[in-house]
């Protein structure tokens, strides 16, 4: 059974590396697209190109955050995501980045639609409404999860202890 647990840690580590690699590629693509927009001239088309590059960079942040979350939660801590505290912490780390990235993408879509086809504003508005719904759903989840956490205070204490241990490892190493 120990080899199975070790193999899961190795696979999670590989996934974290792949997500980090994807983040780096997206950063390069976004930077290249922004640079191409600047070189083309400082006009409205360049602004739209740079705004689209921001959307790509937001996706890079999401990929990098997923990589970090997987590495910290599944490889370094080797945590089992089973209790309410773990679930809330894991999802919150992930969702904060996703909500920001999706909101940025919604703004990119809004700018693109404002300077293009007015019909596309419906898509952008739907995108931003969905972002708000995701944020509201996350808030409800955190609120409901808080009650479950009160039933197992030892899990919260254990998670905080692991946080301190991780901070010490980062500072010392």
pLDDT tens by residue, the chain, 173 residues: 788 878 888 998 999 999 999 999 999 999 999 999 999 888 888 888 888 898 899 889 889 988 988 888 777 765 555 566 777 777 887 888 888 888 888 888 888 888 888 888 998 999 899 999 999 998 898 888 777 767 666 766 666 666 676 666 667 65
Domain ranges of the chain: 2-172
Q: Check residue 173 and give its pLDDT.
A: 59
Place of tokens 């905080």: 160
> Distance between CA atoms of 115 and 34, rounded to whole angstroms?
18
Give me the phi and psi of 72, to 5 degrees please.
-70, -45
Report pTM.
0.72
Q: Provide the pLDDT for residue 108.
A: 84
Please name which of 15, 9, 155 lies closest in space to residue 82, comparing C-alpha atoms.
Answer: 155
CA atoms within 13 A on the CB side of 108: 18
- Give the separation between CA 125 and CA 85, rounded to whole angstroms: 34
């Amino acid at each position: 059974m120990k080899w199975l647990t070790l193999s899961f840690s190795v696979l999670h580590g590989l996934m974290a590396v792949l997500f980090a690699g994807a983040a780096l590629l997206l950063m390069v693509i976004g930077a290249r697209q922004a640079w191409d927009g600047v070189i083309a001239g400082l006009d409205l088309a360049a602004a739209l190109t740079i705004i689209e590059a921001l959307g790509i960079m937001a996706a890079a942040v999401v990929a990098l955050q997923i990589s970090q979350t997987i590495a910290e939660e599944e490889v370094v801590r080797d945590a089992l995501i089973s209790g309410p505290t773990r679930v809330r912490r894991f999802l919150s780390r992930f969702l904060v980045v996703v909500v920001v990235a999706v909101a940025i993408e919604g703004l990119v879509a809004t700018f693109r639609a404002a300077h293009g086809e007015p019909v596309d504003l419906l898509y952008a508005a739907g995108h931003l409404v969905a972002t708000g719904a995701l944020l509201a759903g996350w808030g409800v989840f955190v609120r409901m999860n808080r009650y479950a956490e009160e039933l197992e205070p030892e899990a919260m204490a254990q998670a905080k202890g692991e946080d301190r241990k991780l901070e010490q490892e980062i500072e010392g190493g």
